[in-house]
C-alpha cells in the first residue's frame, strides 16, 4: 500500500479562524516566559507585522500613482523612499532590515558574513524594532527589544514569524492590512487579559462596556480624554464610532495618560496599529494624580475605567481638583470623579466606569462629596450594569455619566436641568462561559437609545423616539427625589423592580455590619450552649 501523502493544513478561511490559528501558534512560544514578557513578545510581533504590511501597501500605492503620472522605473525609485510620502499618510517608515519579508527570509537566523558573526532571528527582530523606532520618532521607547533572550526559543520564534508571514494579512476580502492587524491586536489583548485574570483588568476594559460609553456620549469632534487609558480601548472604539457614522477621525484629538510603562507602550502600539495619532499619550507614562500631563487642556469628552477602590494613591489635601470635597485616603473613587470633572470644558460630558459602592458610599466623607456633585447638577445618568462583565473581578459595576450642561443645546434639545436619568441594565447581556458576560449590540443600543431619547439628541430624533419611564428599567428623577434618598444614586432605588444587590453596599460598611452580626451569632451560640449543658445536667441528675 503506497504511503499517504502528507497534506498541509488548510489556510484559515474566516477572520475568526485566522485569529484563533495565530493565538494557538503564539501560545507555543510561551515556554518559560513570564506572562508580562510573553505579552510583550507577541504584541510586539503583531505590531511589527502591521507596520511592515501598511508600509508595503503604501509603497505599492505610490508606485501606481507615479506610474499613472507617466514616470519611468528610475524616476519612481528616486521618489518612492521619501519618508513624507508615508508619514504624511499615517504610515510608519520601515527600513529594509525591519521589513517582514526580510525577517521571514531569515526566520532560522542569518549566517555570518566575513568578520560578522551569525545572528539569531531574535537578534534580527531586536534590530528591526530599533530600526523602526529610529526611523519614526513618535515610536521612541515604545517597542520591545527582548527577542534574543535566553528564555525565548529561537526555533519557535522563527516558526511563528513563518506563520504570520503565510497568513496573508495584506489582503483578505476588502480589508486593508491595518484593519486586519487591528482586529488581531485587539483579539490578543482580550486573550491576554483573560489569561492574566485580575492583572488583565489593569490594561483591558471589555469591549461591550467601552461601547456603552461611546454610544451614549457619541464623541464625533473635539478632544477625547482618558486619564487611566490602559491599552487605549476607549480611543479605538471612538475611532470606530466615527467611522461607522461616516465622520472624519481627524475631527477628534486624543489625550490620555497611563501610570504603568508596560501598559503605556501597549496603548501607543494599539493606537498606531489603528492609524490613530498617539502623540496625545505623552512622551512617557505617569501618575495622573501626581502629575497631570494635560493640566492646561480642557476636554469635550472624558471616558474612563479607573482602577476600582484603590487604597494607595498620590493624595494632597490642598489639590485644587477637590472642589467638591477632599477624597478619603483609603479610596480613590471620588478622586477620579473630581479629576475627570476638572478636565471637562463648559458643555463637556463624561462616562466613568465605577464599582457599585460608589453610588451609595457614605464613609470618610464620600457621601458629602456625592451630595455636592448632585447639587451642582453634574450627574446626568447612572447605569447599573450586569455582573461578570469583567472576568478579572466579581465586583458589580456601574457607569456614571456626567455633564457640564444639561440645558437645551449642543447636548440635546430637552431641558434636563435638575434631573437625573437612572437605568437598571443588570438583567441585560448573556454568559459566554461560566466566568464572563457580554452585552449584545441590542443591549447597548437599548441603553444608548434611552439616554438619547431622554436628552432629545439628534440620534433620538432620527429614531423618532420620545422618552418615557419604563418600570424596572429606567426612571427620570428630580434632584429633590435624589435628595430625599440621601443622595444615593443606585438606580433600583428609583426604578423599583429587582431589589438592589447587597454588593451595592460600601465595603467598609459591609464589613462592619457582617462583623457585628457574626459576633452576635457567636454570643447567641455561647448562650445556647450554656442552656443545653444545664438541661443535660438536669436529665442526668
pLDDT over 90 at 533, yes or no: no
Highest mean pLDDT among 15-29, 353-367, 449-463: 353-367
Would the pLDDT of 16 be above 50? yes
DSSP lists the bridge partners of residue 355 as 397
C-alpha separations of 296 from 219, 345, 538 in Å: 21, 11, 82
Which of 497, 43, 9 lies closest to 265 in space, CA to CA?
43
Residue 184's pLDDT is 79
What value does the mean pLDDT take over residues 42-66? 89
Residue 514 in this model has a pLDDT that exceeds 70: no
If you average pLDDT over each of 1-10, 14-23, 140-149, 299-308, which comes out highest? Answer: 299-308
Q: What is the pLDDT of residues 159-193, one digit of tens each?
A: 889 888 766 554 444 345 556 767 777 888 887 77
C-alpha 139/C-alpha 412 separation (Å) is: 40
- pLDDT tens string 195-240: 765 554 556 788 899 999 999 999 999 999 999 998 899 999 999 9
Using only C-alpha atoms, the chain has a radius of gyration, in whole angstroms, of 28
How far is residue 417's CA from residue 203's CA, in Å, rounded to a whole number? Answer: 36
Distance CA 503, CA 513 (A): 13
Under CATH, which architecture does the 15-191 domain have? Answer: Up-down Bundle (1.20)
pLDDT at 198: 54
The pLDDT of residue 6: 39
Q: What is the CATH number of domain 203-249+291-504?
A: 3.40.50.150
Specify the pLDDT at position 170. Answer: 44
Euclidean distance between CA atoms 192 and 78, whole angstroms: 44
Domain boundaries, the chain: 15-191, 203-249+291-504, 506-541
Output the pLDDT for position 499: 44
Q: Higher confidence at residue 70 or residue 31?
A: 70
- pLDDT band of 1, cuts 50, 70, 90: very low
Residue 464, phi-psi category: left (phi > 0), alpha (psi -120 to 50), beta (remainder): left
Per-residue pLDDT at 99? 94
CA distance 7 to 263: 42
What pLDDT is recorded for position 91?
Answer: 87
Map residue 76 onto helix, strand or coil. Answer: helix
The band of 500, judged by pLDDT with boundaries at 50, 70 and 90, is very low
Q: How high does pLDDT run on average in the chain?
A: 85
Is the predicted pLDDT of residue 2 greater than 50, yes or no?
no
pLDDT at 433: 82
What per-residue confidence (pLDDT) applies to 321? 96
Dihedral sign, Cα of residue 190, residue 219, residue 337, residue 444: negative
Residue ranges of the alpha helices (H) in 69-120? 73-79, 84-87, 100-105
Residue-wise DSSP of 223-275: EEEETT-TTSHHHHHHHHHHHHTT--GGGEEEEE--S-HHHHHHHHHHHHHTT
Answer whether 15-191 and 203-249+291-504 agree in fold.
no
Q: What is the pTM of this model?
A: 0.81
Residue pointed to by grid coordinates 501607543: 268
- With residue 331 as reference, give the H or E element that holds it: none
Q: Average pLDDT, stretch 286-290?
A: 94
Amino acid at each position: 500500500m503506497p504511503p499517504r501523502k502528507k497534506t498541509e493544513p488548510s489556510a484559515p478561511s474566516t477572520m475568526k479562524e485566522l485569529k484563533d490559528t495565530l493565538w494557538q501558534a503564539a501560545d507555543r512560544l510561551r515556554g518559560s516566559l513570564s506572562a508580562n514578557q510573553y505579552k510583550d513578545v507577541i504584541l510586539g510581533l503583531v505590531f511589527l507585522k502591521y507596520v511592515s504590511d501598511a508600509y508595503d501597501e503604501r509603497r505599492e500605492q505610490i508606485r501606481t500613482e507615479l506610474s499613472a503620472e507617466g514616470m519611468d522605473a528610475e524616476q519612481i525609485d528616486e521618489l518612492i523612499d521619501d519618508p513624507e510620502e508615508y508619514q504624511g499618510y499615517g504610515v510608519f517608515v520601515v527600513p529594509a532590515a525591519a521589513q517582514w519579508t526580510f525577517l521571514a527570509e531569515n526566520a532560522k537566523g542569518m549566517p555570518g558574513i566575513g568578520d560578522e558573526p551569525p545572528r539569531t532571528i531574535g537578534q534580527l527582530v531586536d534590530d528591526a524594532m530599533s530600526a523602526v523606532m529610529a526611523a519614526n520618532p513618535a515610536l521612541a521607547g515604545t517597542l520591545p527589544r527582548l527577542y534574543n533572550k535566553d528564555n525565548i526559543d529561537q526555533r519557535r520564534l522563527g516558526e511563528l514569524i513563518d506563520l504570520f508571514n503565510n497568513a496573508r494579512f495584506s489582503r483578505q476580502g476588502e480589508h486593508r492590512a491595518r484593519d486586519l492587524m487591528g482586529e488581531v491586536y485587539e483579539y490578543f489583548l482580550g486573550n491576554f487579559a483573560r489569561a492574566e485574570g485580575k492583572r488583565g483588568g489593569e490594561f483591558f476594559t471589555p469591549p461591550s462596556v467601552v461601547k456603552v460609553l461611546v454610544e451614549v456620549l457619541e464623541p464625533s469632534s473635539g478632544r477625547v480624554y482618558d486619564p487611566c487609558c490602559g491599552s487605549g480601548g476607549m480611543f479605538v472604539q471612538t475611532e470606530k464610532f466615527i467611522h461607522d457614522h461616516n465622520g472624519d477621525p481627524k475631527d477628534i484629538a486624543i489625550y490620555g495618560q497611563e501610570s504603568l510603562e508596560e501598559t503605556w507602550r501597549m496603548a501607543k502600539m494599539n493606537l498606531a496599529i489603528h492609524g490613530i495619532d498617539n502623540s496625545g499619550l505623552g512622551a512617557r507614562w505617569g501618575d495622573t494624580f501626581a502629575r497631570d500631563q494635560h493640566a492646561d487642556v480642557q476636554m469635550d469628552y472624558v471616558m474612563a475605567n479607573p482602577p476600582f477602590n484603590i487604597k494607595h494613591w498620590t493624595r494632597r489635601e490642598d489639590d485644587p481638583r477637590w472642589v467638591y470635597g477632599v477624597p478619603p485616603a483609603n479610596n480613590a473613587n471620588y478622586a477620579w470623579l473630581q479629576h475627570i470633572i476638572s478636565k471637562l470644558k463648559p458643555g463637556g460630558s463624561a462616562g466613568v466606569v465605577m464599582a457599585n459602592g460608589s453610588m451609595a458610599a457614605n464613609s470618610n466623607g464620600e457621601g458629602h462629596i456625592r451630595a455636592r456633585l448632585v447639587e451642582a447638577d453634574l450627574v446626568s445618568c447612572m447605569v447599573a450594569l450586569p455582573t461578570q462583565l469583567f472576568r478579572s473581578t466579581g465586583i458589580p459595576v456601574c457607569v456614571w455619566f456626567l455633564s457640564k450642561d444639561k440645558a437645551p443645546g449642543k447636548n440635546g434639545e430637552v431641558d434636563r436641568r435638575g434631573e437625573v436619568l437612572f437605568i437598571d441594565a443588570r438583567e441585560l447581556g448573556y454568559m459566554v462561559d461560566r466566568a464572563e458576560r457580554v452585552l449584545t449590540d441590542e443591549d447597548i443600543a437599548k441603553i444608548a437609545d434611552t439616554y438619547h431619547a431622554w436628552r432629545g439628541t439628534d440620534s433620538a430624533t432620527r429614531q423618532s423616539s420620545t422618552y418615557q419611564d419604563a418600570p424596572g428599567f429606567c426612571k427620570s428623577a428630580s434632584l429633590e427625589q435624589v435628595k430625599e434618598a440621601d443622595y444615593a444614586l443606585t438606580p433600583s432605588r428609583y426604578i423599583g423592580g429587582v431589589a438592589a444587590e447587597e454588593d451595592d453596599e460600601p465595603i467598609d460598611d459591609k464589613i462592619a455590619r457582617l462583623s457585628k452580626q457574626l459576633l452576635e451569632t457567636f454570643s447567641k451560640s455561647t448562650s445556647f450552649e450554656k442552656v443545653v449543658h444545664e438541661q443535660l445536667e438536669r436529665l442526668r441528675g
